[in-house]
């Protein structure tokens, strides 16, 4: 929990009563959770404007954690989808966050059964990041990634990027992944045809591409206009502080000069939407998506887990085991 905004050190572990499920809620004993950039966005909002949602002076929501995998321990009186003992996973985004804990309690619609044969740790890497990748690779604006498409994933080495690389390869694309120097082998190991080091190379000069996913944008949208083929698509999922603040101006300018190219922030995100979870399960069953866990921390070291992601040290996911 955290009473103030700040670095991961402001997070504290507190004893609270175990929730009792009411109505259609279920109580889930957490086995594993995982860290996302979005957790840090709530701990350390990138822009003061974001605090309109998270709380202006202090965080409105004190608990942290989106991804969760665990076992149903109790069900509320009107809950009917699950029984005690079922293994489930969820993205707690719309359900109060709080997966960095021993228990989560939420309406049963928050949860889905765990993919067949997957461990709790692997399942906990999926809800937020893999779903973003699934949605980011979906056809848009009448355009789609397919065999022969040239795809660039900027930010191929963190939470969302590895899943996006794997899906793009499955769709038959020639994939370029952008990351820091020491993660290039990791990005190639995911199946990327090319890895580009953003510390030495201007990746906006390496096009043209049909589809660019920019996981956490650090460069102006305008730089990507030249990196796209006619009818190409550039989608940022989020961005650093200057990028977020410049977005309205850049989006308008980009739209004026892009001529048929589509550039902007990825819209239409649906957290843990059941139809996307069904696609995700098919990808898992077919071996298209393989969770990439770099580091594991016990719940007592939640600050260290957050810091590993905050500092960009992880190759893939950081898991919290409970």
Ligand X SMILES: NC(=O)c1ccc[n+]([C@@H]2O[C@H](COP(=O)([O-])OP(=O)(O)OC[C@H]3O[C@@H](n4cnc5c(N)ncnc54)[C@H](OP(=O)(O)O)[C@@H]3O)[C@@H](O)[C@H]2O)c1
Q: If binding is defined by CB under 6 A, does position 136 make contact with ligand X?
A: no
Q: Which of 58, 23, 22, 30 is nearest to 43 (CA)?
A: 58
Give the nearest distance from C-beta 162 to ligand X in angstroms.
9
Rounded Cα distance between 215 and 210, Å, is 16
Q: Considering only the stretches 22-30, 34-42, 68-76, 105-113, report the one whose residues sit in contact with ligand X under the rule CB under 6 A.
A: 34-42
Tell how strand 87-91 and strand 103-107 pair up: unpaired
Helix (H, G, I), strand (E, B) or coil at 216: coil
Q: If binding is defined by CB under 6 A, does position 37 make contact with ligand X?
A: yes
Q: If binding is defined by CB under 6 A, does position 312 make contact with ligand X?
A: yes
Among 24, 41, 86, 193, binds ligand X (CB under 6 A): 41
| Of residues 180-199, those binding ligand X (CB under 6 A) | 180, 183, 198
Among 68, 151, 179, 228, binds ligand X (CB under 6 A): 179
Give the nearest distance from C-beta 192 to ligand X in angstroms.
12
Biggest CA-to-CA distance, the chain: 59
In the stretch 252-281, what mask flags binding to ligand X with x, by CB under 6 A? -------------xx--x------------
* Burial degree of 317 (CB within 10 A; 0-12, 13-18, 19+): buried
Q: If binding is defined by CB under 6 A, does position 88 make contact with ligand X?
A: no
As a three-state string, the secondary structure of 147-160 is: CCCEEEEECCCCCC
Rounded Cα distance between 194 and 233, Å, is 19
Q: If binding is defined by CB under 6 A, does position 59 make contact with ligand X?
A: no
The four Cα atoms 218, 221, 223, 227 give a dihedral, to 10 degrees, of 110
Among 218, 290, 296, 303, binds ligand X (CB under 6 A): 218
| Of residues 138-177, those binding ligand X (CB under 6 A) | 154-161
257, two tokens: 């000069």
Query: Footprint of ligand X on this chain (CB under 6 A)?
Result: 36-38, 41, 129, 132, 154-161, 178-180, 183, 198, 215-216, 218, 237-238, 265-266, 269, 312
């Amino acid at each position: 929990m955290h009473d103030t905004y700040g670095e991961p050190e402001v997070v504290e572990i507190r004893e609270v009563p175990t929730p009792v499920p009411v109505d259609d809620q279920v109580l889930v004993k957490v086995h594993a959770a995982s860290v996302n950039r979005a957790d840090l966005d709530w701990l350390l909002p990138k822009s003061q404007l974001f605090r309109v949602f998270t709380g202006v002076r202090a965080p409105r929501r004190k608990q942290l954690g989106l991804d969760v995998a665990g076992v149903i321990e109790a069900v509320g009186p009107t809950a009917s989808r699950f029984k005690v003992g079922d293994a489930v996973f969820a993205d707690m985004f719309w359900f109060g966050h709080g997966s960095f804990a021993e228990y989560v309690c939420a309406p049963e619609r928050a949860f889905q059964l765990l993919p067949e044969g997957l461990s709790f740790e692997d399942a906990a890497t999926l809800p937020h990041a893999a779903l973003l990748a699934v949605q980011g690779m979906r056809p848009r604006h009448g355009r789609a990634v397919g065999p022969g498409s040239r795809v660039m994933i900027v930010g191929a080495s963190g939470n969302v990027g590895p899943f996006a690389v794997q899906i793009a390869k499955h769709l038959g694309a020639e994939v370029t992944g952008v990351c820091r120097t020491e993660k290039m082998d990791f990005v190639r190991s995911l199946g990327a045809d090319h890895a580009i080091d953003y510390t030495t190379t201007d990746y906006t000069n390496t096009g043209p591409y049909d589809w660019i996913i920019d996981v956490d944008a650090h460069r102006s949208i305008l730089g990507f206009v030249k990196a796209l083929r006619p009818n190409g698509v550039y989608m940022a999922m989020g961005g650093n502080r200057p990028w977020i603040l410049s977005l309205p101006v850049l989006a308008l300018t980009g739209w004026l000069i892009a001529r048929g190219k589509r550039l902007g922030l990825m819209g239409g995100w649906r957290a843990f939407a059941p139809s996307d979870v069904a696609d995700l399960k098919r990808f898992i069953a077919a071996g298209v998506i393989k969770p990439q866990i770099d580091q594991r921390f016990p719940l007592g070291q939640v600050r260290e887990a957050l810091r590993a992601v905050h500092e960009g040290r992880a190759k893939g996911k950081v898991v919290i085991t409970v």
